[in-house]
Amino acid sequence: MAPRTPAGPLRRAAAAIMAVAVALGLAVAAPVRRLAGAAKAGGDGGPRSRWHSLFGMLSMQRARALGPVAPAGQQARELPWESIQGHPGYAISVERVIAIFGQAEGGWPREQCDLFDDLVEGNCHVRSLFEQRSQAVAGKPFVVQAGGGAEEDKIAARALSAALARLPMIGFFTHQLTANKYGFAASEIDWGLMEFEGRTWVVPTCLADVKARRFAFDIATNTLRLLTVAEPARGEELIPGKWVVTTRPGPLARAGLMRSATFPLCYIRFGTRDWVIYSHKFGLPLVIAQYDDSNAPDDKATDDPTRQVLQDVVKNVGQDGGAVLPKSATVTVTATSGGDASKTQGSLIGYCNAELSKLVVGSTLTNDNAGSGGASYALGEVHASVRWDNITFDAAALEEAFRTQIAAAFVHYNGLAGVAPPLLRMQVVRDLSPMQRAQVAAIYVNQLGGKASATQMDRELGFDAPIDAADILPGMKPAAAQAPALKEAA
């Protein structure tokens, strides 16, 4: 990237106006936007300057209109250099992290994504946290519901649901939820034809999950661009109706949770390295080997065989269970003493792990209560509630991405004017014990008059459906069925 030129008078004036507008909470007026365009046209700083990045953050980019027919073919293809990965996290330093972050903010996040992958791969705790958050939503059952009450709405929902039943949706949901890690996630839609209920439908036939490192940022509009053979640096604009993109709020380069987790993970890595060195240096007892050279001649020549034996003993301490020594040799094992590394490196690692837990899942007691001094039930409930908020947010993000980018395109490409796009409903519920679940179902059905699925109850309570009539477990009849028999007996 070429070095940035100093800010010119035009840019400085526009930046001052912009700062005043933001400070007063005012909308940026069109003349200020034109001033920004004039500054860019004048070559003052280039398209990747800090000035352009500022306006990119505040851009209100509208979605492009869908074409009349579903886009054909593939936009994302394997790149010749895709297998090349530098692993920047293997020998990371604070200075290197800052440089990678700046590169991402300039529109090139590839190395930042690689850094995130390396750091997550090398830390069991944070990897578990991201998997917990993803699995809490992606692994749950889902349904596709009609967006309205009309018969056409219901038919459209059934058709789209039948198409999605052919696709690996758990993998798709898991990939879309990596937006929490990177700040964005994108999957390409392949459209095809399907016969359903006597009609030919245009439906998704493949949802191809594309790695985050395959994208660049348009910092002027805060949108993704796909790196291709034709556009390996700037990237191609994503074709409308061809992609499902989930993002977190804010500039894409800084939106991912891993941006905040990077430095704590580096500190854990540095602390663990120092702790290993400390253990290697002070974790083993000090072995002192002595031999008698009082009978040596005047030239003080030592007893070479004895010295060799002692050297072997010192070298193999911790491996050998014992040794045979000459009578003239003495081996002394001295216990080491020094500072407690658990109060320095250990405390640092524990603090960083707690911060990571708060960042990713919103709590600490839902993962580990070590060092909490015995957490109370009420405090555990608070932490569980915060985690539940994250789960519902992730489910809502998937549902919104489905409605706006899959269902809306499905309705459009099938010419269903006036039909409401089908809705995705992720069946996420609070964690309840089987007894609590049964009690809730009993209240819902018997007291509130609701309708519940017997198949769902069997699945959630862990019961299998009976094989035949002889396989049914005998039990008490419901109270309503017992009433006539009890009255007759009386």
Tokens 């396989």, residue?
A: 471
Q: Which of 418, 402, 70, 77 is nearest to 241 (CA)?
A: 70
Q: Please tell me the total number of residues recorded for the chain in this structure.
A: 490
C-alpha to C-alpha distances, 430 to 2, 141, 173, 369, nearest whole angstrom: 52, 14, 19, 21
Alpha helices, DSSP H only, in 139-198? 151-164, 169-176, 179-182
Q: Are the C-beta atoms of 215 and 64 separated by less than 8 Å?
A: no
Query: How far is Cα 223 from Cα 461, in angstroms, rounded to an integer?
Result: 44
Q: Are the C-beta atoms of 153 and 146 separated by less than 8 Å?
A: yes
Tokens 């008698």, residue?
A: 292
pTM tops 0.75, yes or no: no
**Residue partners of 452: CB distance under 8 A and separation at least 6:** 441, 444, 445
Q: Count other C-beta atoms under 10 Å from residue 41's C-beta.
A: 8
3-state DSSP assignment of residue 203: strand
Per-residue pLDDT of the chain (490 residues; tens, 9 = 90+): 334 444 444 445 444 544 444 444 434 343 333 333 433 333 333 333 333 333 334 445 567 788 888 888 888 887 777 777 889 999 899 999 999 999 999 999 999 999 999 999 999 999 999 999 999 999 899 999 999 999 999 999 999 999 999 999 999 999 999 999 999 999 999 999 999 999 999 999 999 999 999 999 999 999 999 999 999 989 999 999 999 999 999 999 999 999 999 999 999 999 988 888 888 777 766 666 666 666 655 544 456 676 777 777 777 765 554 554 555 666 666 665 655 667 788 889 999 999 999 999 886 655 555 554 444 444 445 556 677 889 999 999 999 999 999 999 999 999 999 999 999 999 887 767 778 878 888 888 888 888 888 887 887 777 887 888 787 877 655 555 444 544 555 5
Q: Are the C-beta atoms of 200 and 192 separated by less than 8 Å?
A: no
For residue 270, the cross-strand partners are none
Q: Are the C-beta atoms of 243 and 405 separated by less than 8 Å?
A: yes
Q: At what angle do helices 50-57 and 9-23 cross, to 10 degrees?
A: 30
Query: How far is Cα 287 from Cα 305, in angstroms, rounded to an integer?
Result: 19
Cβ burial of 253 (10 Å; 0-12, 13-18, 19+) is: buried
**Residue partners of 389: CB distance under 8 A and separation at least 6:** 362
Domain ranges within the chain, ordered by starting residue:
9-57, 72-283+336-427, 434-489
